Structure 1
Amino acid sequence: MAKNKKTKSSKSEPVIENRRARHDYAISETLEVGIALVGTEVKAVRAGRVSLNEGFVLASVEPTALTLHQVSIGEYGPGGTRQHKLDRVRMLLAHKREIRKIARQLDTKGVTVVPLKMYFKEGRVKLLIGIGTGRATHDKRRAIAERESKRELQRLMSRRG
């Protein structure tokens, strides 16, 4: 009989979310990709020192690559003098066909790829990216109004039931 795998300690890994992206963009499709980081970057992510708010993803067909731009990963304090650059361009890891598909979608006017969430999965840093189009101001207001009406309805239903 096989032994159960031991789970790590109950120390929870951080999940960094870009909540602004879902507000500013109508996300039509999401994709989980890996990210190539250096040692101090991984430790800084584990400490939660990441800002995804200004980030975006570019795809190129030749060479086939996904790159993450303007995502700031802060310094890792005990790292000493051998620190990483805060705003460097980072390579994203995905299958070639997925990269080509994203590159084709990016050729369409108004389509952009933004990072939505950074998290750990089986000890590796993963990034959830979203493909979407920018929302106009009136669309944002409509989405907020719909969300508020749903909350109010839920609140009323919970009081009655």
Structure 2
Amino acid sequence: MPKGSGNSIAQNRKAGHDFFIEETYEAGIVLKGTEIKSMRAGRVNMKDSFARIHNGEAFLYNLHISPYEQGNRFNHEPTRHRKLLLHRKEIDKLIGETQQAGYSLVPLKIYIKNGVAKVLIGLGKGKKKYDKREDLKQKQAKRDIDRAIKDSVR
């Protein structure tokens, strides 16, 4: 099964627009009981979330998981920092690569794989404004070509 496949819960659609994703890593995520229940219900927002390496451990910041409705006093804080589970070699590699200018760790997708919550993290280099415009031009050109082909078949 390729990385990133499984029961998808949420995707970061802005990541492809704002970053050139060069590598992806699959990481486990440490959650509380009410968080996983809320996550399975699809109440996750990845907007503005990012990952960072701190003291040799990977953490996910600003991931919003809404409180579980039946959670009463055991509910979690919606935007708390969550630890990511990666191999030591992967963390060491990411430390070196994120210290380069312009690189950052971006969560791309959250999904359930074999009953366990996973996060697909991408090592991305930020796009400049002209890069984003160029991507939009290419996307529009591809749409126009596809539309012309579809019309010519009819």
Give the alignment's TM-score, normalised by structure 2: 0.91
Partner of 2:26: 32
What is the rounded CA distance, in whole Å, between the counterparts of 2:40 and 2:74 in structure 1?
A: 18
Matched residue type, 1:141:
R
Partner of 1:141: 133
**Unmatched segments (≥5 aa) in structure 2:** 1-5
Deviations 1:85-118 (A, max 9, x none): 1111100011110011011101101101110100
Q: Does the alignment pair 1:104 with 2:96?
A: yes
Instruction: Give the match's secondary structure for 1:78.
Output: coil
What is the rounded CA distance, in whole Å, between the counterparts of 1:85 and 1:123 in structure 2?
A: 23
Superposed CA RMSD in Å reads 1.4
Structure 1 runs (4+) deviating above 2 angstroms are 12-15, 158-161
| Alpha carbons 1:13, 1:46 under 8 Å: kept | no
- Residue 158 of structure 1, CA deviation: 2.3
Q: Does the alignment pair 1:52 with 2:73?
A: no
| Alpha carbons 1:112, 1:131 under 8 Å: kept | yes
- Residue 75 of structure 1, CA deviation: 0.5
State, as a whole percentage, how many aligned pairs show the same letter: 37
| Alpha carbons 2:9, 2:44 under 8 Å: kept | no
**Unmatched segments (≥5 aa) in structure 1:** 1-11
Give the alignment's TM-score, normalised by structure 1: 0.87
Pick aligned residue for 1:23 from 17, 22, 38: 17
What is the rounded CA distance, in whole Å, between the counterparts of 2:70 and 2:8 in structure 1?
A: 19
Instruction: Give the match's secondary structure for 2:74.
Output: coil
Aligned length: 148
Partner of 1:83: 75
Partner of 2:3: none
Pick aligned residue for 1:154 from 141, 146, 153: 146
